[in-house]
């Protein structure tokens, strides 16, 4: 196992600093929204976690294509790393959204196009992890994972455009909301600062976690290789 790279230590420190600043911006700098009250502050990290989810699923699709072209194991490890992290963040986004919805929509959950497509995305990628567990041959598992990540990604843009194309009560942050959307608000300057800095922070957090998870994936591959060698 290679020692932890110096750059990863620097990235860990930067991520921690950015995270503290993002929390301060959200809770101290950004003003309280008048019609929703304190729960509006959930919005900053709700969108940021959803963004990280979609970002990771996109990374997994890209490295899936690279694996299918080059057949190098590192792309399989990257794909698994990206999906695992994104699954966690996307889950948090869904739960945070549900908590925000309770006082604003007066319900924890509704089968709105955005909520439905987001749930489908989460289930598709949860199935990815479960199905991977069932394949013992590493090459077959990697090939399956790459094809699945590419095909599974089709559900992500569908989720993104669902609130822009279909009738929905889910507000749109960038662009015009559906007239039936509930919980829309226009962002003031400090709100925009907190929002975009949160997006940036979570993107850096994703890169940091991805690097750590990639290192762990390489270690897991080494352990599996040794196990197969010993048992042969």
> Which CB atom, from 50 or from 150, has the smaller least distance to another protein?
50
Q: Which residues pair with 65 in a beta bridge?
A: none
Contact 21, 217 (CB under 8 A): no
Closest to another protein by CB, 150 vs 201, is: 201
Rank residues 22 and 150 by Cβ distance to another protein and give the closer one.
Answer: 22
Binding site for another protein (CB under 8 A): 1, 32, 34-42, 45-46, 49, 88, 91-92, 95-96, 99-100, 102-103, 212-213, 216, 219-220, 222-223, 226-227, 229-230
Phi, psi of 219 (to 5 degrees): -65, -40
Minimum distance, C-beta of residue 136 to another protein, in the bound complex (Å): 17
Distance in Å, CB of 209 to another protein, minimum: 8
Shortest Cβ distance from residue 147 to another protein (Å)? 26
Residue positions counted in the chain: 232
Cβ(87)–Cβ(49) below 8 Å? no
Q: Which among 145, 23, 37, 21 is positioned nearest to 83, based on CA atoms?
A: 145
Beta bridge partners of 33: 37
Q: Which is nearer to another protein, 57 or 150 (CB)?
A: 57
- Please state, in angstroms and rounded to a whole number, the distance separating the CA atoms of residues 83 and 88: 9
**Residue owning tokens 């822009």:** 164
Contact in structure between 45 and 203 (CB atoms under 8 Å)? no
Q: Which CB, 65 or 119, lies closer to another protein?
A: 119
> In whole angstroms, how close is the CB of 25 to another protein at the nearest point?
14
No. of H helices and E strands in the chain? 7, 0
Pick 1 or 28: Cβ nearer another protein? 1
Residue 118, token pair as written in the block: 């987001």
Q: How far is the CB of 206 from another protein (least distance, A)?
A: 12
Q: How far is the CB of 187 from another protein (least distance, A)?
A: 17
């Amino acid at each position: 196992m290679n020692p932890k790279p110096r750059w990863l230590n620097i990235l860990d420190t930067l991520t921690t600093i950015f995270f503290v600043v993002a929390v301060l911006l959200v809770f101290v700098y950004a003003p309280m929204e008048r019609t929703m009250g304190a729960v509006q502050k959930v919005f900053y990290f709700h969108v940021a976690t959803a963004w990280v989810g979609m970002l990771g699923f996109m990374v997994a699709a890209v490295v899936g294509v690279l694996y299918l072209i080059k057949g190098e194991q590192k792309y399989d490890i990257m794909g698994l790393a990206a999906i695992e992290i994104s699954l966690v963040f996307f889950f948090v986004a869904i739960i945070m959204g549900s908590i925000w919805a309770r006082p604003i929509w007066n319900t924890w959950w509704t089968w709105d196009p955005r909520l439905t497509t987001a749930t489908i995305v989460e289930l598709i990628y949860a199935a990815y992890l479960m199905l991977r567990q069932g394949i013992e041959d590493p090459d077959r598992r990697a090939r399956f994972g790459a094809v699945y990540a590419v095909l599974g990604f089709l559900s992500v843009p569908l989720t993104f455009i669902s609130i822009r194309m279909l009738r929905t009560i889910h507000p749109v942050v960038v662009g015009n909301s559906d007239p039936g959307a509930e919980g829309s608000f226009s962002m003031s300057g400090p709100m925009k600062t907190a929002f975009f800095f949160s997006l940036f922070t979570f993107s850096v957090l994703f890169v940091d976690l991805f690097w750590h998870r990639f290192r762990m994936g390489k270690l897991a591959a080494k352990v599996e290789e040794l196990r197969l060698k010993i048992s042969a």
